[in-house]
Amino acid sequence: MENTLNTLKYGNVEIGVLSKGAELSSYKVDGKEFMWDSQPEFWAASSPVLFPFVGVIKDGKYIFEGKDYEITTRHGFARNNDFDLVEKGENFLKFKFSSNEETLEKYPFEFDFFLIYTITDNGLEIKYEVLNKTKGDMYFSLGAHPAFALELNDEIKLEDYYLEFEKNENAQIYQLRSDALILEEKKDYLKNEKIIKLSGTIFDNDAIIFENLNSAKVTLKCSKSTRELSMDYSQFPFIAFWSKSKAPFVCIEPWFGISDFANCTGKLEEKKGILKLKENDVFTAKIIINGKL
């Protein structure tokens, strides 16, 4: 199928969402772009949705009700599938992806998964809805992975950018193995601080992953520019940051769930951070991004 770009303008905000993965490819405020433009030499995505898993599954396999399932793709499979635009309003786009024969082979649950993009004053609300159509409980993880562009030029360097939480934090981060599995032991990171300075080497050990911070919001700022981008991730227990080495973007990633731990059992019900949804129930969560010039 063709990867259609769906655009919407409301007030001073304009967005573009691709049909594949219902991926946000553009978010402009007053004509200025805040999203990374998917240059493949660094990273050929802009905002993949992570569903029904976040990160990697150990050995590409897991067990549910005594049966083995294989899934070798990172971050689940929704991002690689076509979503249907099922509703379009003056200020919103609603996309849907449902389970099918192919998904049921690697993930034994029937579902409808909706992504709703709603333009607000300067901002954008991204809402996630999961309907469990399976007989019995459904287990899943869910995450966002938007990449925000960093304007770099002769004046502004990568090191001029920083992430600022709304509150000071005493926080540890998870450590990752080279295969992206999580280690049990955490590492001290923030000590009564709220700022993380970006650099060309900050993500050398992969993503920086926090759990249950006091802050519900983080803002990407630059010491040489008034432009900033904030995200309210208050409903999500994990928040991660990631980029490629020296790349002109940074990802701000709120998650329900996390990669498998190196010592995990492989049983889906025992997976760290996994969500359980009862039959016919709907899970909803949202993030709000706000760009300022």
pLDDT of residue 252: 98
- Report whether pLDDT(2) > 90: no
Q: What integer is the mean pLDDT of 246-273?
A: 97
| Radius of gyration of the CA atoms of the chain, in A | 19
Structural contact between residues 184 and 263, judged by C-beta atoms closer than 8 angstroms: yes
Q: Is 191 helix (H, G, I), strand (E, B) or coil?
A: strand
Q: Which helix (H) or strand (E) holds 106?
A: helix 101-106
pLDDT surpasses 90 at 21: yes
CA angle, residues 87, 15, 194, in degrees to nearest 5: 115
123 neighbors 291 (Cβ within 8 angstroms): yes
CATH of domain 5-292: 2.70.98.10
Percent of the chain with pLDDT over 70: 100
Question: For residue range 38-49, what is the model confidence (pLDDT) as tens digits?
Answer: 999 999 999 999
Q: Choose among 249, 218, 209, 254: nearest CA to 35.
A: 249
Indicate the pLDDT class of residue 122, thresholds 50, 70 and 90: confident
User: What angle (nearest 5°) sits at the alpha carbon of residue 131, between those of residues 128 and 136?
Assistant: 140
**Extents of the domains making up the chain:** 5-292
> In terms of pTM, does the model score above 0.75?
yes
284: its two tokens: 């909803």
pLDDT at 101: 97
Residue 1 has what pLDDT? 66
Q: Alpha-carbon distance 108 to 99, whole Å?
A: 9
The neighbouring-strand residues paired with 89 are: none
Tokens 């995505």 belong to 45
Q: What is the pLDDT of residues 124-173, one digit of tens each?
A: 999 999 999 999 999 999 999 999 999 999 999 999 999 999 999 999 99
Average pLDDT of the segment spanning 92-121: 97
- Calculate the average pLDDT of the chain: 97
